[in-house]
């Protein structure tokens, strides 16, 4: 698929949302820190000062931004497979995703979680690295996305190797906005409602060591990735045209309304006697509607407004991958440094975002001028 500013700028915008998300977790009212086992905390660093609007930011982000990242990543898979072939595609993907994942798991993640360890009870016993690299505790931080994306790419590549036309044959995206919404909504409902009945939303599965993933969203992420692959294999100039995405303002409004209205209602005491399965299913249904409408709404927004290339936006798009890889350490160390500072939580949040985004952007820009540029 031919690259265009809409998709490139949307991807970099979602990367900024990732930075905002991780910066906000230190100051959300629901965040908690576990000094006994710091890796069980909601974030590596949690400040005593909180700011309630960040709860909304974190909650709304969590509804759509990771499925959208998998969708965007899938858009370029089929054209890349057709251009490179299965072997070359897998080799390039392994370099592009595998090397940053290894570096993140071995170096960047320990650096990011070291401030958290310094705040914990374990600091008196020493031995940070042995405890961190324990196969039952080892976390790659945000880099879990990289290995899972590589695994998804491998599955699609193997299928392509034996059935190169299968994706195109199964591509089910006609030139209709209603059909687009219906397909995404049905697939999202199918991959969220059933898993939520048996799996806790906060649960993670560890394959081995740093190879972890969000358990109940695994099928959702794979589905949105495959939907992206299908969109890229079909005719994206039609499926993702501005005309086909024209209802995007309505979709965004619907997504926001579902988040604002439906989920808080589920916390009301009048639903206390509701059957357990229904109490699990309704939030999953609400999540599916919010995820679908918000994700497609942002695709439409991007195609409507991101039409012209801009130098600063081009730089952000070119460095977005490195920002994703490097930002987490900057975020946690800035939060750690700001812990004793007597300033409002909102100001700490803004400082964390500004410094972490700028520093990771600059670092990536410098590294891309070296041999690391072949990966970043």
The pLDDT-based confidence of 180 (bands split at 50, 70, 90) is: confident
In this model, does residue 16 exceed pLDDT 80?
A: yes
147 three-state secondary structure = helix
* pLDDT digits 0-9 by tens, 22-72: 999 999 999 999 999 999 999 999 999 999 999 999 999 999 999 999 999
In this model, does residue 238 exceed pLDDT 70?
A: no
Q: Would you tell me how many other CB atoms lie within 10 Å of the CB of residue 310?
A: 12
In terms of Cα–Cα distance, which of 153, 7, 3 is closest to 78?
153
Query: Which ranges of the chain does DSSP label H, i.e. alpha helix?
Result: 5-24, 53-75, 77-84, 86-93, 99-103, 109-118, 128-132, 144-162, 166-170, 177-198, 218-233, 236-239, 248-257, 263-265, 276-305, 311-338, 345-367
In this model, does residue 165 exceed pLDDT 60?
A: yes
C-alpha to C-alpha distance for 294 and 219, rounded to whole angstroms = 19
pLDDT at residue 99, rounded to an integer? 97
In terms of Cα–Cα distance, which of 316, 266, 260 is closest to 290?
260
Residues whose CB is less than 8 angstroms from the CB of residue 332 and which lie 6 or more positions away in sequence, other chains included: 44, 45, 112, 113, 115, 116
In this model, does residue 268 exceed pLDDT 70?
A: no
The pLDDT-based confidence of 261 (bands split at 50, 70, 90) is: confident
CA angle 147, 101, 87 (to 5 degrees): 60
C-alpha to C-alpha distance for 89 and 295, rounded to whole angstroms = 27
pLDDT at residue 30, rounded to an integer? 93
CA angle 67, 69, 72 (to 5 degrees): 110
C-alpha to C-alpha distance for 376 and 285, rounded to whole angstroms = 37
Residues whose CB is less than 8 angstroms from the CB of residue 35 and which lie 6 or more positions away in sequence, other chains included: 119, 120, 121
Distance of CA 286 to the CA centre of its chain: 19
In terms of Cα–Cα distance, which of 118, 3, 38, 25 is closest to 328?
25
CA angle 173, 177, 178 (to 5 degrees): 95
In this model, does residue 208 exceed pLDDT 80?
A: yes
Query: What is the gyration radius of the CA atoms in the chain, in angstroms?
Result: 21
146: left (phi over 0), alpha (psi -120 to 50) or beta: alpha
The more confidently predicted of residues 230 and 331 is: 331
* pLDDT digits 0-9 by tens, 96-122: 999 999 999 999 999 999 999 999 999
In this model, does residue 76 exceed pLDDT 60?
A: yes
238: tokens are: 């039609």
DSSP 212: E
Task: For residues 222-246, give the mean pLDDT.
Answer: 81
pTM flag (> 0.85): yes
In this model, does residue 2 exceed pLDDT 60?
A: no
Q: What is the mean pLDDT of the chain?
A: 91
């Amino acid at each position: 698929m031919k690259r265009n500013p809409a998709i490139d700028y949307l991807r970099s915008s979602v990367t900024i949302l990732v930075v905002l998300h991780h910066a906000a977790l230190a100051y959300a009212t629901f965040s908690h820190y576990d000094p006994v086992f710091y890796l069980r905390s909601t974030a590596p660093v949690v400040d005593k000062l909180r700011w309630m609007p960040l709860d909304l930011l974190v909650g709304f982000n969590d509804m759509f931004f990771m499925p959208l990242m998998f969708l965007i990543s899938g858009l370029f898979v089929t054209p890349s497979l057709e251009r490179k072939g299965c072997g070359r595609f897998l080799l390039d993907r392994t370099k592009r995703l595998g090397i940053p994942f290894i570096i993140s798991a071995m170096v960047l993640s320990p650096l990011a979680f070291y401030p958290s360890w310094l705040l914990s009870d374990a600091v008196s016993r020493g031995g940070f690295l042995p405890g961190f690299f324990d196969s039952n505790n080892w976390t790659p931080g945000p880099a879990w996305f990289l290995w899972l994306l590589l695994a998804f790419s491998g599955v699609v590549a193997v299928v392509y190797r034996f059935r190169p036309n299968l994706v195109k044959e199964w591509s089910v995206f006609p030139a209709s906005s209603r059909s687009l919404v219906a397909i995404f909504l049905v697939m999202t409902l199918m991959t969220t409602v059933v898993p939520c009945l048996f799996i806790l939303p906060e649960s993670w599965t560890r394959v081995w060591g740093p190879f972890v993933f969000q358990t109940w969203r695994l099928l959702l992420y794979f589905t949105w990735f495959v939907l992206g692959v299908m969109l890229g294999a079909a005719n994206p100039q039609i499926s993702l045209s501005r005309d086909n995405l024209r209802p995007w303002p309505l979709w965004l409004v619907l997504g926001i309304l579902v988040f604002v209205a439906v989920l808080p209602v589920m916390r009301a005491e009048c639903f206390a006697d509701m059957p357990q399965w229904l109490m699990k299913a309704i939030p999953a249904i609400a999540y599916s509607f919010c995820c679908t409408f918000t994700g497609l709404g942002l695709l439409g927004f991007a195609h409507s407004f991101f039409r012209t290339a801009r130098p600063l936006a081009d730089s952000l798009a070119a460095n977005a991958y490195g920002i994703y890889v490097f930002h987490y350490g900057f975020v946690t160390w800035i939060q750690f440094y700001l812990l004793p500072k007597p300033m409002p939580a909102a100001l700490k949040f803004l400082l964390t975002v500004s410094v972490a985004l700028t520093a990771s952007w600059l670092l990536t820009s410098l590294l891309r001028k070296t041999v690391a540029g072949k990966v970043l």
